Amino acid sequence: MVDNNDSSLNERADTPYNQWFSSPYFHILYKHRDYQKTQRFLDQLTDFLQINETQKVLDLACGKGKHAIYLAKKGLDITGLDISADNLKYGNKFAHEKLCFVEQDMRTPYVENHFDFVLNLFTSFGFYNEDAENLKVLESVHTMLKPGGRFLLDFINPYVYELNMMPYELAVVQGIKFQITQKIEQGMIIKGIHFHDAGQNFFFEEKHKTISYDKFQEWFAASSLRLVQTFGGYDFTPFEQTDSDRMIFLLEK
């Protein structure tokens, strides 16, 4: 059972990053995620990008900051940026000289010409209905990167995602039955989450755009980010439109 007086449930839902992402139920539903697998990917990522302790790294849309916290334990200089004050309460418990968190909209640059690397991981992009708003995120990244700095953007491959999408799923976690529906409507992947807890019915939505490889290329050019390489998975295999689960873009300012 979750305390329904949690302030995260009362956040205004007037931004795409709505109350669902900072609610305790979001973290309950996805608690099964294999974090050891995630850590292995982060290890491989830092090795592949050759990130060292003297460089500054931004974890963009960092959520509760777990990835930033892990990277800081490896000795890296990390800033986590997220729009949810409730999520950042967790990360701030671990803050120190080389790990800090900033509450801010990802469309607005936090600093200029500051970061050697910006990481946007696990489909933490495309929350906005209007293309121009998503483009602002890329322009913000460009502003925050140092000249020659690199940006790694990890997104689903919408072609493969749509082929494998489950219209309905039931997940039982901590005694809560989450009924999950998925559909694609007007270029948005819409996931509905219905459940009952503590005598109340709840409904939340996750939304993000289905952005094609070609559309990303347009946006990268418009934001003056040069595409260096595209990977199709967390093992850094080459991207294949019809087979790859992910589109992982490595870009440079």
Contacts of residues 228-234 at CB distance under 8 Å and 24 or more positions apart, as own/partner, are: 228/150, 228/252, 232/157, 234/41, 234/44
CB 56 within 8 A of CB 77: yes
How do 99-103 and 168-173 pair as beta strands?
Answer: unpaired
Q: Is residue 100 part of a domain?
A: yes
Q: Is residue 72 part of a domain?
A: yes
DSSP alpha helices (H): ranges in 148-240? 158-164, 213-222
Looking up residue 75, the CATH number of its domain turns out to be 3.40.50.150
Q: Is residue 239 part of a domain?
A: yes
pLDDT (tens digit, 0 to 9) for every residue of the chain, 253 residues total? Answer: 333 333 333 333 344 445 788 888 988 998 877 678 889 999 999 999 999 999 999 999 999 999 999 999 999 999 999 998 988 999 999 999 999 999 999 999 999 999 999 999 999 999 998 999 999 999 999 999 999 999 999 999 999 999 999 999 999 999 999 999 999 999 999 999 999 999 999 999 988 899 999 999 999 999 999 999 999 999 999 999 999 999 999 999 9
Chain center to CA of 211: 15
Q: Is residue 107 part of a domain?
A: yes
Q: Is residue 167 part of a domain?
A: no
In the chain, the number of structural domains is 1
- Taking each continuous run of H as one helix and of E as one strand, the counts in the chain are 8, 11
10 beta partners: none
